Homo-oligomer: A and B are copies of this chain.
Amino acid sequence: MRTSQLLLPTLREDPGEAETVSHRLMLRSGLIRRVAAGIYTYLPLGLRIIRKVEDIIRQEMNRAGAQELLMPVASPAELWRETGRWDFYGKELLRFKDRHERDFCLGPTHEEVITDLFRREVRSYRQLPLNFYQIQTKFRDEIRPRFGLMRGREFIMKDAYSFDADEAGARASYQKMYDAYHRIFTRCGLTFRAVEADTGLIGGSSSHEFMVLADTGEETVVYTETGTYAANVERAELLPPEEEHVEEFRPLMAVKTPNCRTVEEVTTFLKIEPNRLVKTLLYKAGDQTVAVLVRGDHDANEIKIRRILGVTEVELAGQAVVEKITGAPVGFAGPVGLTGVRVIADHAVKTARNVVVGGNQADTHYVDANWNRDFQVEQFADLRNARAGDPSPRKDGVLKATKGIEVGHVFMLGTKYSQSMNASFLDPNGKECLAVMGCYGIGVGRAAAAAVEQNHDDKGIIWPFPIAPFHVHLLPLGESSAVKETTARLYADLEAAGLEVLLDDRDERAGVKFNDADLIGAPYQVVVGEKGLAGGTVEMKTRRTGEKIKLAPADVPGTLLDLSRAFRTPTT
């Protein structure tokens, strides 16, 4: 394709709206443009990338025996009321009324619609297993859409739903998808890791996220060197630490800590390490307020707190509640003498001795406080985020941590949806049984954005070959007939070899063409210049390494085919 026939508005400057590498580079290289917050148009080059990711997904889903169908974007409320998610889902579910005042939502996920299809159309165990997927525009009304395609409100997703006759079948379907996802992200040219994850709004018994590893990722992943364990930090289980009892109890003492509210302020003032302090966090959980104790060097994990409390939502109590319960301003809450609230604590608090806690009085903390002597705890549990250095829950060494971007998520749903919607089939004995389900998502646009986060340098994007918008960027310099003829022949020969060529036929300076080529990030660049042609060569540059070689024009297609062979053959 010729740039003169393509809307490809590259930008020299970083656009103000962009906060992350992929957002900035996808805007600068003319892949996307913002229409509203979290809502984008995919320009021609951007759409080419999306389609390539979709094609890889489609091939691997079909290979895994899944059937493609297409459900509607508009979902009727009745179905969502059957599963209770109409009320449960919250404001991310974009709701609307049609002209007859009937309730609908823009489907953020399609468990309800597919389960309804199943219960209407599937009768017998003979028809199982079934796995349906679609690639579709979805909508989630994120409160803070940001980072371009990374956390948009309207986005393209592949979602799949499996139906099996029993748990063992469902596990096999889950494993098939798990394996298909490995092939998909491998074929996309991404470095990734599958990790245990929380099931969130989808529900179900277990799940894995597929994380593209990148320093700029929003998620933290912990894993063991041996590969036996990997999990999203919010999900990673932590075992209770061994009891140590190394310190003698010292007497409890109140100390003045003027204006010291945060862990950092208090520990700096008292000249202690953060692990010698226990934070007291007051959470609202439905009608009740709960005090959660976590060591000063640990982060409370709200997912774990929700699970222990058996609620779907918790939030930190506001100033008024804190003052009413503690009798002190925010920043001085502590468990000593605290009444009227449940107190739960992270396991690590149980073995901490002689710790600093809030004094429930302005500008006051206690030092050398001890559980079971100075304060009581109703329940100890795993309530904090894992971090590098924590012992592995598999007891095989310590956890390491890395940053990642979630691009896929597979869930074992069990009978959560088939039960509430009565999606059953007849088993060999004619008995009605509930289908055992799984669901499986991939964020198509997010996978493309994650590829940029993982593959870029200060000049621009470095597309993995399989999802690059073009394989070769052909850059003629100058107007001589030798340049023109060689360029035309090379363009034809490369396309005939099955390579996708972007020809920069603009009348621009060499520097502008080089900068745009590096920005757009095709894996290979071929420069046709007069000087080179005088010596019978063109210059081929590999975008990732910057390596340049001189070649006779006739050798270019073969060389590029050799270099890209590994990427052009689907992994099997």
Q: Which residues of B contact A9 (CB under 8 A)?
A: 121
Residues of A38-54 contacting chain B, CB below 8 A: 39-44, 46-47, 50
Query: Chain A 68-89, CB within 8 Å of chain B: the 1/0 string?
Result: 1111111110000000000000
Contacts of A33 in B (CB 8 A): 117, 120-121
Beyond A36-B104, A121-B7, whether A41 also contacts B70 by CB under 8 A is yes
Question: What would 26 A/B residue contacts be, using CB atoms closer than 8 Å?
Answer: A5-B67, A6-B67, A7-B69, A7-B127, A7-B130, A7-B132, A33-B120, A33-B121, A35-B72, A35-B75, A35-B113, A36-B74, A36-B102, A40-B72, A41-B70, A41-B113, A41-B117, A43-B69, A44-B68, A44-B69, A72-B137, A73-B139, A74-B139, A94-B96, A98-B141, A136-B137
Complex-state Cα separation, A154 to B76, whole angstroms: 12
Q: Which residues of B contact A46 (CB under 8 A)?
A: 69
CA distance A107 to B143 in the complex (A): 22
Q: How far is B74's CA from A154's CA once the two chains are assembled, in angstroms?
A: 8
Q: How far is the CA of A73 from the CA of B106 in the complex (A)?
A: 10
**Contact A74-B41, Cβ < 8 Å, known A5-B67, A7-B69, A99-B91:** no
Q: Within 8 Å CB of A65, what residues of B?
A: 5
Q: How far is the CB of A57 from chain B (nearest CB, A)?
A: 15
Which of B76, B91, B99, B132 contacts A143 (CB under 8 A)? B99
A41: nearest chain-B partner, CB-CB: B71
Q: A5-B65, A98-B153 are in contact. List 7 more A-B contacts (CB 8 A).
A: A35-B75, A36-B74, A43-B69, A73-B139, A73-B154, A74-B106, A95-B96
Count of chain A residues with a beta carbon within 8 Å of a chain B beta carbon: 52
- Copies of the protein in its oligomer: 2
Chain B residue nearest to A77 (CB atoms) is B36
Cα-based distance from A141 to B102 in the complex (angstroms): 12
Taken residue by residue from 517 to 542, chain A's Cβ proximity to chain B (1 for < 8 Å, 0 otherwise) reads as 00000000000000000000000000
A73 contacts across to B, CB distance below 8 A:
73, 106, 137, 139, 154
- Closest approach, in angstroms, between the C-beta of A10 and any C-beta of chain B? 11
Whether A69 contacts B47 in the complex (CB less than 8 A), given A74-B36, A113-B35, A132-B7, comes out as: yes
- 1/0 per residue, CB under 8 A from B, across A112-133: the answer is 0100110011100001001010
Residues of B within 8 A of A7 (CB): 67, 69, 121-122, 127, 130, 132
What are the 3 closest A-B residue pairs judged by CB atoms, nearest first?
A: A96-B96, A42-B70, A36-B76
Nearest B residue (CB) for A91: B99
Distance between A64 CB and nearest chain B CB, rounded to angstroms? 12
Chain B residue contacts of A36, Cβ below 8 A: 72, 74, 76, 102, 104
Chain A residues numbered 489-532 whose CB sits less than 8 Å from any CB in chain B: none
Known: A33-B117, A113-B35, A121-B9. A70 touches B47 (CB 8 A): yes
A98 → chain B, closest Cβ, in Å? 6
A112–chain B nearest beta-carbon distance, Å: 10
Q: Are B72 and A39 in contact (CB under 8 A)?
A: yes
Give CA–CA (A132, B45) in the complex, Å.
13
Contact A69 B98 (CB under 8 A): no
What B residues does A5 contact at CB under 8 A?
65, 67
Say whether B96 contacts A69, CB under 8 Å.
Answer: no
Please, how many angstroms separate the alpha-carbon atoms of A73 and B69 in the complex? 19
Annotate A1-12 by CB proximity to B: 1 below 8 A, 0 otherwise. Answer: 000011101000
Chain B residue contacts of A74, Cβ below 8 A: 36, 39, 106, 139, 153-154
Question: How far, in angstroms, from A549 to B98 measured CA to CA in the complex?
Answer: 54
Chain B residues in 8 Å Cβ range of A41: 69-72, 113, 117
Which A268-305 residues have C-beta < 8 A from chain B? none
Q: How far is the CB of A435 from chain B (nearest CB, A)?
A: 13
- Cβ contacts A531-560/B at 8 Å (1 or 0 each): 000000000000000000000000000000
Is there contact, CB below 8 Å, between A67 and B91? no
Complex CA gap A484/B137 in Å reads 42
Kindly list chain B residues whose C-beta atoms are within 8 Å of the C-beta of A42. 69-70
Q: Verify B71–A44 contact, CB threshold 8 A.
A: no
Instruction: A33 to B132: give the CA distance in the assembly, Å.
Output: 15
Residues of B within 8 A of A139 (CB): 73-74
Q: In the complex, what distance in Å separates the CA atom of A102 from the CA atom of B113?
A: 28
Say how far A499's CB is from chain B's closest CB, in angstroms. 18
In the bound assembly, the distance between CA atoms of A120 and B32 in angstroms comes to 13
Q: Nearest Cβ in chain B — how far from A565, in angstroms? A: 25
Most buried by B among A6, A73, A98: A98
Measured in the bound complex, the distance between the Cα atoms of B95 and A36 in whole Å is 15
Task: Give complex CA distance A67, B94 in Å.
Answer: 31
Residues of B within 8 A of A154 (CB): 72-74
Alpha-carbon distance A120/B33, docked complex (angstroms): 10
